[in-house]
Amino acid sequence: MAQVPVTEGVFTWPSQTPQLIGSRCVECGNHMFPVQSGCPKCSSDSTEEVLLGRRGTLWTWTVQGYPPKSPPYAGNVDPKTFQAFGVGYIELPGQIKIEARLTESDPAKLKIGMEMEMVLVPLNTDEAGNEVVTFAFAPVA
Amino acid sequence: MSIEVAIVGIGMHEFGRTEGVSGMDQGVIAVRRACADAGLKWDDMQFAFGGSQAAGAADTMVSQLGLTGLQFINVANGCATGGSALFSAYNTIRSGVFDVGIAIGFDKHERGAFRINTKGAGLGDWYGASGLALTTQFFGMKINRYMHEYGISQSSLAKVSEKAFRNGAQNPMAWRRKPISEQEVLDSAMLSYPLTQYMFCSPGEGGVALVLARADKAHLYTDKPIYLKAAAVRSRRFGSFEVLAPSIALEHNAGPTVDASKAAFEMAGIGPEDIDVAQLQDTESGAEIMHMAENGFCEHGEQEFMIQAGETEIGGKFPVNTDGGCLANGEPVGASGLRQVYENVLQLRGQAGARQVPNDPKVAYTHVYGAPGISGVTILSR
CATH classification of the domain holding B53: 3.40.47.10
- Check: CB of residue B130 under 8 Å from CB of residue A123: yes
Question: Which of the four pLDDT bands, split at 50, 70 and 90, describes residue B80?
Answer: confident
Nearest-by-CA chain A residue for B189: A65
Q: How many percent of chain B have pLDDT more than 70?
A: 100
ipTM over 0.90: yes
Residue A34 domain flag: no
Report which of B82, B130, B74 is spatially closest to residue B244, judged by C-alpha positions.
B130
Residue A121 domain flag: yes
pLDDT at B321: 98
Residue B364 domain flag: yes
Report which of A14, A13, A46 is spatially closest to residue A29, judged by C-alpha positions.
A46
List residues in chain B touching A: CB distance below 8 A.
112-113, 115-116, 118, 124-134, 137, 140-142, 144-145, 148, 189-195, 238, 245-250
How many domains is chain B partitioned into structurally?
1
Per-residue pLDDT at A48 exceeds 70: yes
Q: Tens of pLDDT along A63-88?
A: 999 999 999 999 999 999 999 999 99
- Single-letter amino acid code for the residue at B69: G
Task: Name the residue facing A65 among B128, B192, B238 (closest C-beta).
Answer: B192
- Check: CB of residue B1 under 8 Å from CB of residue B374: no
Question: Which of the four pLDDT bands, split at 50, 70 and 90, describes residue A141?
Answer: confident
Residue A11 domain flag: no
Average model confidence (pLDDT) for chain A? Answer: 96
Residue B107 domain flag: yes
| A residues 9..38 contacting B (CB < 8 A) | 10, 22, 30-34
Helix (H, G, I), strand (E, B) or coil at A22: strand
Which region holds residue A39: left if phi is over 0, alpha if psi is between -120 and 50, else beta?
beta
Residue A106 structural domain: 54-139
| A residues 57..116 contacting B (CB < 8 A) | 59-66, 68-69, 71-75, 85, 87-89, 91, 94-101, 107, 112
Residues on chain B touching A31 (C-beta within 8 angstroms): 247
Residue A7 domain flag: no
Per-residue pLDDT at B360 exceeds 70: yes
Q: Tens of pLDDT along B286-320?
A: 999 999 999 999 999 999 999 999 999 999 999 99
- Where helices occur in chain B by DSSP H, the ranges are 23-38, 62-65, 81-94, 125-129, 135-150, 154-168, 182-187, 256-268, 285-294, 303-308, 325-329, 333-349
Residue A24 domain flag: no
Average model confidence (pLDDT) for chain B? Answer: 95
Q: Report which DSSP code applies to B320.
A: B
Residue A30 domain flag: no
Tell me how far apart the alpha carbons of residues A18 and B357 are, in angstroms, rounded to a whole number.
58
Q: How far is Cα of residue A44 from the mean position of the Cα atoms in its chain?
A: 26
CA distance A126 to chain B (A): 12
Residue A31 domain flag: no
Q: Tens of pLDDT along B225-242?
A: 999 999 999 999 999 998
Residue B265 structural domain: 5-111+207-381
- Single-letter amino acid code for the residue at B67: L
Report which of B212, B235, B234 is spatially closest to residue B225, judged by C-alpha positions.
B212
How many domains is chain A partitioned into structurally?
1
Per-residue pLDDT at B88 exceeds 90: yes
Taking an 8 Å cut-off on Cβ atoms, the answer to whether B115 and A69 are in contact is yes
Taking an 8 Å cut-off on Cβ atoms, the answer to whether B129 and A64 are in contact is no
Q: How many percent of chain B have pLDDT more than 90?
A: 91
Residue A128 domain flag: yes
